[in-house]
């Protein structure tokens, strides 16, 4: 199994776990679990893009935002500031904990999941 295949499998599993938790009725435990799974999914999304670009296009990107910008240039994702927003959301959840921010981010997770799933399709 190539590095790209391995990371795509991990990304797909992370998305299944995120989708699973988003189906549950919201409470603080479910919300916090969903946000943790979002963080894993986002990390795997940009690392999947990075591996794809290196393997298929010979392009090196080194940060999440750079990889998403290059993914747009390569036609893997549509132009949207959502990807940059997701990176910012992940940074917020990893470095601060405020109920109002966490609830706002939780509300955006279904949209993020759909974008992640579309990215996975494009990478496969």
The predicted-structure confidence for 69-112, as pLDDT tens digits, reads as follows 999 999 999 888 999 999 999 998 887 778 888 999 999 999 99
pLDDT at 98 (0 to 100): 84
* DSSP character at residue 24: S
Q: Which fold has domain 3-123?
A: 1.20.120
Task: For residues 123 and 94, give the distance between their C-alpha atoms in angstroms, rounded to a whole number.
Answer: 27
Task: For residues 93 and 55, give the distance between their C-alpha atoms in angstroms, rounded to a whole number.
Answer: 31
Query: What residue ranges do the domains of the chain occupy?
Result: 3-123
Task: Evaluate whether 116 touches 45 at the Cβ level (below 8 Å).
Answer: yes
pTM strictly above 0.85: yes
Give the model confidence (pLDDT) of 5-18 as tens digits: 999 999 999 999 99
Helical spans, DSSP H, in 1-124: 3-22, 28-52, 64-73, 82-95, 99-123
């Amino acid at each position: 199994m190539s590095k790209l295949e391995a990371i795509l499998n991990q990304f797909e599993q992370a998305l299944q776990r995120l989708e699973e938790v988003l189906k549950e009725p919201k409470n603080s435990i479910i919300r916090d679990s969903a946000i943790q799974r979002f963080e894993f999914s986002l990390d795997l999304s940009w690392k999947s893009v990075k591996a794809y670009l290196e393997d298929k296009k010979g392009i090196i990107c080194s940060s999440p935002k750079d990889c998403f910008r290059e993914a747009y240039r390569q036609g893997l994702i549509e132009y949207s500031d959502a990807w940059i927003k997701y990176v910012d959301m992940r940074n917020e959840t990893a470095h601060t904990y405020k109920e109002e921010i966490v609830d706002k981010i939780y509300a955006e997770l279904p949209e993020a999941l759909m974008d992640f799933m579309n990215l996975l399709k494009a990478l496969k």
